[in-house]
Amino acid sequence: MRVIGLDPGLRRTGWGVIESEGTRLRHVANGVVTSDGGLDLARRLVQLDEGLLEVLLAYRPDEAAVEASLVNKNAGSTLKLGVARGVVLLTPAKHGLPVAEYLPMIVKKAVVGTGHASKEQVQTMVGHLLPGCAIANPDAADALAVAICHSHHAATGRRWSAGGKEPLPAAQGDRR
């Protein structure tokens, strides 16, 4: 399964694409879609939509996962982030991808093992889970973490849906 993780932001929306097969993860690509702060809000949202569409067409993910946003102290910032999130949720959905959302605490727990991990800890663990991955920046690292989180949750969901009939993947080095 190919997953795109998205970390929404009006200035910078991080994205990361991974492939997962059982418990194996492989980095495909990562980066950031940016918008021009000198433009009006509507044009910036168009830039996000067009940039995300380019990424979707280039890497053809099967599913998308988006980090949910928590309320900030600054109402204006929260509103701008909310409209950017709308674009980030809409763009993959309108192109037929299932879109899941995960709270930051769930993403951190899935990647680091604790929901209160620092950004540095998340970035370090993403590097360990995706060896050889050159992470573009912290926004892309967060997006890769969202993709990893979704990969783990989706695999569990498929096993549950199969009524436990789908075997657990063998661990690397397991010679069953």
Q: How far apart are CA 3 and CA 53, in angstroms?
A: 15
2-161 CATH, one of 3.90.1150.10, 3.10.450.750, 3.40.50.360, 3.30.420.10: 3.30.420.10
Q: Is the pLDDT of residue 172 over 70?
A: no
Q: How far apart are CA 53 and CA 37, in angstroms?
A: 20
CB 69 within 8 A of CB 8: yes
pLDDT per position as a tens digit, 75-132: 888 888 899 999 999 999 999 999 999 999 999 999 999 899 999 999 999 999 999 9
pTM listed for this prediction: 0.87
> Which one is catalytic: 62, 67, 101, 166?
67
Q: How far apart are CA 44 and CA 31, in angstroms?
A: 18
Mean pLDDT of the chain: 89
For residue 73, what pLDDT is reported? 75
Phi, psi angle pair for 85, to nearest 5°: -60, -40
Any idea which of 48-57, 140-149, 160-169 has the lowest mean pLDDT? 160-169
Q: How far apart are CA 139 and CA 32, in angstroms?
A: 7
Helices (H), 60-137: 75-94, 104-111, 119-129
For residue 24, what pLDDT is reported? 92
142 an active-site residue? no
Phi, psi angle pair for 63, to nearest 5°: -145, 160
Give the three-class secondary structure for 162: coil
7 an active-site residue? yes
> Which one is catalytic: 139, 142, 166, 174?
139
pLDDT per position as a tens digit, 116-146: 999 999 999 999 999 999 998 999 999 999 9
Domain range annotation of the chain: 2-161
Burial call 28-39: b when 16+ CB within 10 Å, e when fewer: bbbbbbbbeeee
Confidence band for 34, pLDDT divided at 50, 70 and 90: very high
For residue 78, what pLDDT is reported? 84
pLDDT per position as a tens digit, 141-161: 999 999 999 999 886 555 555
Q: Strands across the sheet with 2-7, in order?
A: 24-34, 12-21, 2-7, 63-67, 99-102
Q: How far apart are CA 155 and CA 20, in angstroms?
A: 9
